[in-house]
Every structure is written in structure tokens, then in C-alpha cells.
Amino acid sequence: MAGHSQFKNIMHRKGAQDAKKAKVFTKIIRELTVSAKTGLPDPAANPRLRAAIQEARANNMPRDTIERAIKRGQGGDDGANYEEVRYEGYGPGGVAVIVEALTDNRNRTASDIRSAFSKNGGNLGETNSVSFQFDRVGAIHFPAKAASADAMFEAALEAGADNVESGEEGHDVTCAMDDLGMVREALEAKFGTPESARLEWRPKVTTPIDGEAAETLLKLLEVLDDHDDVQRVASNFEMSDETLARLNG
């Protein structure tokens, strides 16, 4: 496994997810507000809002917190006008990195992201400087208990998905970007609400990395992921089991 999903697994093993709960809530609240502001208030007719609500529930966010965030977006008086921005660049070892953010101050965020890259062996590039190395796909995640691997595979295939990977951590279904809503609805009808359903960047090819470069890269990804304005980070790195063991040691 490579890229940001691998990075998240490393962070999980280090026990960092619990320590970052407040920051996770901040990011989800921002997404709830923006998705409610830019689309219809009904989650059934607003796929982005529906996905944000699902993510909030998966992270055990209180219902009243979710509702307040949505109301702020619908009222348009939340005091902040967030913009969606994407940054692209290269990390240590020539690893491609894509950063998606929601910000109310583009200059501040751009400066912070540029600084994160430069201080951790990377270089921030222009828009589309690395995105050609990725596919934009629909990604749906169900917990392992939702269905057997065979049942999920058959249902996903019938719904029009491109691929299914099942394991102890659950079922990851991928599909074409434009098919995300259709595939999600078909699977939801059979297995219930997924833990997440959103668009993601998946690398077409991976870049092997080890040694000090691997350690510096993980520091860069952690700094980016920890920034309040950053919603998601994707990269195309690949590490050997030996490197992972050393970094986790």
C-alpha cells in the first residue's frame, strides 16, 4: 500500500489520531459549513454535504455540533468566506504531493504551505505540476462488518465500481469520479451508510523512498496534515517493510 493511506496507517500506529481529535473536528466542521453553503441544504440532494455528515458521524461528532455547522453554512453568516484551494509540489525523494485546503485567507495559507515544503526538503510547484501523476476517483469505505468480501465485491461490481479491496480495516471501493453518487447509493441500499464516500487522488505510479528522505517526507506530511486549513493530503510514495518497521520502532 502506498501514498496517503499508508501515511494514515503509520500515524494510527503511533497513536496520533486521538491527540488530533480536536483538529479533525475543526476540519470536518469547516467542510460541513462549506458544503451546506455551496449546495442544497438537504443532504439527500447534496452529495458533498451527505459525505461530510457521514464523516462527522464516523468520527463520533455530536449531533448538535453537526447541526450548528450546517446552519452556519445555510445562513451564510458564519463570519468566514472559505475558498477551496489546491497546492501541488514535490517532497523529499521526488515524491509528488497534493494538498487540498479550505481557507479564508489565501495568502496566509499559501505562505504556510510553501514554508512547510521548504523546511522539510520539498518544493511547492504550480497548479497541475504533479496532479497528472494521479487519477481522480470516487472512494467509498465500509467497515469490515458491513458485508463479507465476496458480497461486497459482487455488489460493487454490479453497481459499476472499478475495484474493491477488503481486509481487516474494512472494504475500500473505488469507481470513476462521475459514478460516485450512483455507486454509493447502490451499496448504501444493501449495506447501510458507508463510513466515507468522497473524491480522492490516487497515484498512477508510486515513488520508492527510504532512509532519511523517508523520515523527512513523513514529517512534511504530518506538518501539512496538522494545518487547520488543510483538508486532505495525497502523495505517491512507497516504502519497504523494513523502512516502515524502522520508522515505527
What is the 3 state secondary structure string of 45-98?
HCHHHHHHHHHHHHCCCCHHHHHHHHHHHHHCCCCCCCEEEEEEEECHHHCEEE
**Among candidate residues 75, 100, 124, the one where a domain is terminated:** 75
User: Is the pLDDT assigned to residue 1 strictly greater than 50?
Assistant: no
Compute how many other C-beta atoms are within 10 angstroms of the C-beta atom of residue 50: 20
Q: Is residue 139 part of a domain?
A: no
Concatenating the DSSP letter of every residue in 101-169 gives EEES-HHHHHHHHHHHHHHTT-EE--TTSSGGGEEEEEEEEE-GGGS-HHHHHHHHHHHT-SEEEEETT
Q: Which of 207, 208, 211 is nearest to 247 (CA)?
A: 211
Clarify whether residues 113 and 23 are in a common domain.
no
Q: Is residue 54 part of a domain?
A: yes
Q: Is residue 8 part of a domain?
A: yes
Q: What does the alpha-carbon distance between residue 48 and residue 25 come to, in Å, rounded to a whole number?
A: 17
Clarify whether residues 210 and 243 are in a common domain.
yes
Q: Give the CATH number of the domain where residue 221 resides.
A: 3.30.70.980
Q: What pLDDT score does 42 carry?
A: 82
Q: What pLDDT score does 195 carry?
A: 87
Q: Of all helices (H) and strands (E), which one includes residue 13?
A: helix 4-13
Q: Give the CATH number of the domain where residue 21 resides.
A: 1.10.10.200
Q: Is residue 233 part of a domain?
A: yes
Q: Is residue 137 part of a domain?
A: no
Write down the mean pLDDT value for the chain: 88
Separation of CA 91 from chain center: 18
Q: Is residue 199 part of a domain?
A: no
Q: What is the pTM of this model?
A: 0.81
Work out how many domains the chain is built from and give that number: 3
Q: Which comes out higher in pLDDT, residue 104 or 13? A: 104
- 94-145 pLDDT, tens digit per residue, is 999 999 999 999 999 999 999 999 999 999 999 899 999 999 999 999 999 9
Clarify whether residues 23 and 55 are in a common domain.
yes
Clarify whether residues 60 and 14 are in a common domain.
yes
Q: Is residue 170 part of a domain?
A: yes
Clarify whether residues 183 and 218 are in a common domain.
no
Clarify whether residues 230 and 123 are in a common domain.
yes
Residue 186: φ, ψ to 5°: -65, -45
Domain of residue 228 covers 83-132+204-248
Clarify whether residues 117 and 210 are in a common domain.
yes
Check residue 42 and report its DSSP letter: -
- 32-75 pLDDT, tens digit per residue, is 999 998 887 788 888 889 889 988 988 889 999 999 999 888 87
pLDDT-based confidence at 6, cuts 50/70/90?
Answer: low
Clarify whether residues 65 and 11 are in a common domain.
yes
- 161-207 pLDDT, tens digit per residue, is 999 999 999 999 999 999 998 999 999 999 998 988 989 999 999 99
Clarify whether residues 97 and 59 are in a common domain.
no
User: Is the pLDDT assigned to residue 18 strictly greater than 90?
Assistant: no
Q: Is residue 36 part of a domain?
A: yes
